[in-house]
Amino acid sequence: MNLSDKKILVTGGAGFIGSNLCEVLLEKKNRVVCLDNFATGKRENVKDLQSNPNFKLIEGDIRNLEDCKVAVSKVDYVLHQAALGSVPRSIKDPITTNDVNVSGFLNMLVASRDAGVKRFVYAASSSTYGDSESLPKVEDVIGKPLSPYAITKYVNELYADVFSKTYGLETVGLRYFNVFGRKQDPNGAYAAVIPKFVKQFMNGKSPVINGDGNYSRDFTYIDNVIQANILALVTNNPKAVNTVYNVAFGERNTLNELVGYLREVLSKLDPSINNVKIEYGPNRQGDIPHSLASINKAEKLLNYKPQFSLQKGLKEAVQWYWENL
């Protein structure tokens, strides 16, 4: 199927991943509705889209069923990205995280079911692997959640599965692994590690690694995530829907390696960054030592072929921060 001339709702469309999705869908000549309450999203992320007649911004809250119903009206597909991210945020305030990520998710499922949406693709999370130590992570082998955030993302998968079986709503869950790239917020207590470190390096401040830097992650560039979302929307393979997929590059790098690559790319733009020292702090609660995805399932069923390794993605991301921060 060719993805154009469709009406697609992106919830959380003013956020990092959502705004990138909105942009690409508009480029492909779809009509895009963005539902966001700007809890963590930014107006500047959608500023350039607002002059496009095919883009509609609805300022609303997924905790409010009416807002969800309005947003989903006459929509073909939903890409549900709205949620409160961050493990530490959920440890500090589990109630709000649960309200948004679980009740809000359920509202979106109900509204999508009632509006006859053709497919509901949603942001799941690698945090669902919890305390499972097996590597690489395969979709069927999960452990116990290690944070309130992880519980909410697992509950999303359970609800989606029940809505597929009970009401026939087609769903696809995409378990993102440590996504990074343009428009990701470098500021605030809950900023993700890559934009935070880029900004600190650029300001000559020492990045602080939690632990000894040997923890590893499957860092995933935004364009790989966009590819997975589009493939999840267009697949007409019945075996490919009503299930969940890892969305990652399929390699892992330690935090020390990450910082080394960042320094390499950034010091070409400003040689003084070579002198910035790295600091080490305590390990963070709820963090697992290593994370690496098997992407076999997405490769096989969705024809997913990620094009950006960590190093290739970092070059693009750093250039964007250099020009935009």
Cβ proximity to ligand NAD: between 217 and 263 the closer is 217
Identity of the amino acid at 91: I
CA dist., res. 26 & res. 43, Å (int): 17
CA dist., res. 155 & res. 66, Å (int): 22
Phi-psi region of 7 (alpha: psi -120 to 50; beta: other; left: phi over 0): beta
Residues that bind ligand NAD (CB under 6 A): 12, 14-18, 35-41, 61-63, 81-85, 100, 104, 123, 125, 176, 178-179
Cβ proximity to ligand NAD: between 98 and 125 the closer is 125
Alpha helix (H) ranges present in 34-93? 43-47, 65-72, 87-92
Helix (H, G, I), strand (E, B) or coil at 55: strand
Helices 104-115, 148-167: crossing angle, 10 deg rounding: 20
CA dist., res. 259 & res. 41, Å (int): 26
CB of 140 to ligand NAD, least distance (A): 19
DSSP code of residue 220: E
**Residue 149 annotated as catalytic:** yes
CB of 268 to ligand NAD, least distance (A): 26
DSSP for 153-180 reads: HHHHHHHHHHHHHHH---EEEEEE-SEE
Cβ proximity to ligand NAD: between 247 and 273 the closer is 247
CA dist., res. 101 & res. 128, Å (int): 14
Helix (H, G, I), strand (E, B) or coil at 29: coil
Which of these is catalytic: 149, 154, 245, 304? 149
Counting every residue written for the chain, the total comes to: 325
Write down the residue that tokens 């910082």 correspond to: 259
CB of 37 to ligand NAD, least distance (A): 4
Cβ proximity to ligand NAD: between 85 and 276 the closer is 85
Cβ proximity to ligand NAD: between 84 and 318 the closer is 84
CB of 274 to ligand NAD, least distance (A): 28
CB of 206 to ligand NAD, least distance (A): 23
- Catalytic machinery residues: 149
